[in-house]
């Protein structure tokens, strides 16, 4: 059975819990995903929740809880209400362009960020530097991970690039395919601590997590694997590794890679931008429009199919990000409450279990 300690609830948080005036009625839980204010929470079981009205009014937007946060909830049968957010150990922010504030909080209480880049043409030192800066600002430790080393004919180029920016940050070269370097990486991840993966789309973050988790992984699905179909509710957002490490892998954290938005798409894929100048339409999305120079480069074999596919993938992620930012898409709270109630009913029907304290 899953305990709060398994999820990273150490002395730093338990001390705060003891001090809560009304702690008897509240239960600690960890946010493992955040979908516009509907939180997926994990305590001794998975459930959904949202902020109390009081917190919604009191908290500055930059303080709103996010993935990785520890909160205290009233364990209601229909939906959990978050009444308290524990002080954070660390906080990763997305810097808003041209704003003086701290930006948007993307991840909380992560001890180690694995900044993943791959040993191929997506390698971008400037971007890695920005990741490093964001991680140092967060208060967490960075580890620079060079992935897909099985692909590289000459690793020295990548090594030199990473060493130039590392300044003492550990660099781990690995391959999720061959398994090389995985043991070394685990040495940087102490038991009971939380790690998270950041890096551009396609660098191999999911594959790495799968490889680390290969044998005895219990992810949020398997923890609750009571044969009653509740697994799908949490997916792979939170994984527990055999060595007792917690890994958070959520779209919100990965999105750090997209903070530069269109600019990132341009600079990472400048080969595609070069072809795109010859597209018939200025706003061509290179998805089958007539006169698309990018597609014809793929057909002629001048542009790799995999390169084209990772461009499309990043483009789709950017579009999703924009939709999420668009206020017209925001749910009104009534619809949201209904949605929560429905999902919680589904959870409970599937064999819900209350936390015993
Ligand atoms: P993510 O977007 O960062 O999560 O990247 P994925 O894990 O989805 O991987 C992107 C692509 O790289 C997939 O086609 C993987 O099969 C491939 N890939 C991942 N890890 C490795 C590796 O260690 N070696 C090789 N050769 N390919 C890999
Ligand atoms: Zn085009």
Query: Which pLDDT tens digit goes with each residue over 99-109?
Result: 445 677 889 99
Question: Residue 150 half-sphere exposure, CB side, CA atoms within 13 Å?
Answer: 8
Average pLDDT over residues 280-295: 90
Q: Is the pLDDT of residue 291 over 60?
A: yes
Q: Is the pLDDT of residue 15 over 90?
A: yes
Round the CA-based radius of gyration of the chain to a whole number and report it.
Answer: 22
Confidence at 230, pLDDT banded by 50, 70, 90: very low
Question: Residue 238 half-sphere exposure, CB side, CA atoms within 13 Å?
Answer: 32
The 3 state secondary structure assigned to 85-133 is ECCCCCEEEECCCCCCCCCEEEEECCCEEEEEEECCCCCCHHHHHHHHH
Among 207, 248, 317, the mutation site with the greatest number of ligand 1 atoms within 8 A of its Cβ is 207
Report the pLDDT value the prediction gives residue 345, as an integer from 0 to 100. 46
Confidence at 78, pLDDT banded by 50, 70, 90: low
- Nearest residue (CA) to ligand 1, atom 22: 148
306 lines ligand 1 (CB under 6 A): no
Which span out of 18-32, 143-157, 224-238 was modeled with the highest average pLDDT?
143-157
- Nearest residue (CA) to ligand 1, atom 15: 204
Q: Which ligand is nearest to the CA of 116?
A: 1
**Total length of the chain:** 357
If you measure from the C-alpha of residue 164 to the centroid of ligand 1, how many angstroms do you get, rounded to a whole number?
Answer: 25
The pair phi, psi for residue 324, each rounded to 5°, is -70, -30
Among 204, 213, 248, 315, the mutation site with the greatest number of ligand 1 atoms within 8 A of its Cβ is 204
Report the pLDDT value the prediction gives residue 255, as an integer from 0 to 100. 52
Which span out of 227-236, 252-261, 267-276, 305-314 was modeled with the highest average pLDDT?
305-314
Query: Which pLDDT tens digit goes with each residue over 132-171?
Result: 878 888 899 999 999 999 998 889 989 988 988 888 899 9
Q: Which position has the higher pLDDT, 229 or 325?
A: 325
Beta bridge partners of 41: 31, 47
Query: Which pLDDT tens digit goes with each residue over 172-221?
Result: 999 999 999 999 999 999 999 999 999 887 889 989 998 987 543 344 44
Report the pLDDT value the prediction gives residue 178, as an integer from 0 to 100. 95
If you measure from the C-alpha of residue 204 to the centroid of ligand 1, how many angstroms do you get, rounded to a whole number?
Answer: 4
If you measure from the C-alpha of residue 290 to the centroid of ligand 1, how many angstroms do you get, rounded to a whole number?
Answer: 31
Average pLDDT, the chain: 78
What is the DSSP secondary-structure string of 313-349?
HHHHHHHHHHHHH-GGGPPPHHHHHHHHHHHHHHHHH
Report the pLDDT value the prediction gives residue 317, as an integer from 0 to 100. 66
Beta bridge partners of 240: 218, 246
150 lines ligand 1 (CB under 6 A): yes
CB 247 within 8 A of CB 101: no
pTM of the entire structure?
0.71
Q: Which residues surround ligand 2, an ion (CB under 5 A)?
A: 279, 284, 286, 292, 294
Quick one: what percent of the chain has pLDDT higher than 70? 72
């Amino acid at each position: 059975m899953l305990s709060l300690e398994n999820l990273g609830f150490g002395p730093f948080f338990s001390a705060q819990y003891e001090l809560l005036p009304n702690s008897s009625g509240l239960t600690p839980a960890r946010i493992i995903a955040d979908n516009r204010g509907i939180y997926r929470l994990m305590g001794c079981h998975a459930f959904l929740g949202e902020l109390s009205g009081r917190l919604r009014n009191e908290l500055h937007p930059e303080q709103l809880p996010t993935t990785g946060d520890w909160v205290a909830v009233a364990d209601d049968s229909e939906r959990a209400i978050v009444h308290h957010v524990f002080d954070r150990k660390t906080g990763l922010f997305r810097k808003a362009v041209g704003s003086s504030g701290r930006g948007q909080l993307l991840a909380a209480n992560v001890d180690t960020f694995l900044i993943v880049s791959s040993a191929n043409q997506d390698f971008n030192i400037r971007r890695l530097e920005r990741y490093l800066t964001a991680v140092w600002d967060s208060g967490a430790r960075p580890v620079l991970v060079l992935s897909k080393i099985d692909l590289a004919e000459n690793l020295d180029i990548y090594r030199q690039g990473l060493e130039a920016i590392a300044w003492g940050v550990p660099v781990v070269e690995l391959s999720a395919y061959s398994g090389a370097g995985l043991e070394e990486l685990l040495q940087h991840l102490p038991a009971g601590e939380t790690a998270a993966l950041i890096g551009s789309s396609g660098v191999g973050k999911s594959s790495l997590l799968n490889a680390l988790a290969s044998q005895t992984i219990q992810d949020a699905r398997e923890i609750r694997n009571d044969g009653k179909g509740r697994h799908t509710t949490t997916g792979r957002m939170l994984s527990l590794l055999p060595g007792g490490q917690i890994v958070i892998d959520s779209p919100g954290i990965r999105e750090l890679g997209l903070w530069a938005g269109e600019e990132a798409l341009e600079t990472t894929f400048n080969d595609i931008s070069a072809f795109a100048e010859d597209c018939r339409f200025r706003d061509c999305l290179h998805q089958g429009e007539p006169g698309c120079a990018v597609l014809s480069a793929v057909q002629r074999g001048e542009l790799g199919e995999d390169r084209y596919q990772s461009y499309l993938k990043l483009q789709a992620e950017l579009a999703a990000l924009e939709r999420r930012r668009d206020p017209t898409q925001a749910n009104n709270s009534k619809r949201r409450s209904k949605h929560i109630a429905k999902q919680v009913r589904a959870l409970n029907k599937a064999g819900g279990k209350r936390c015993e304290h």
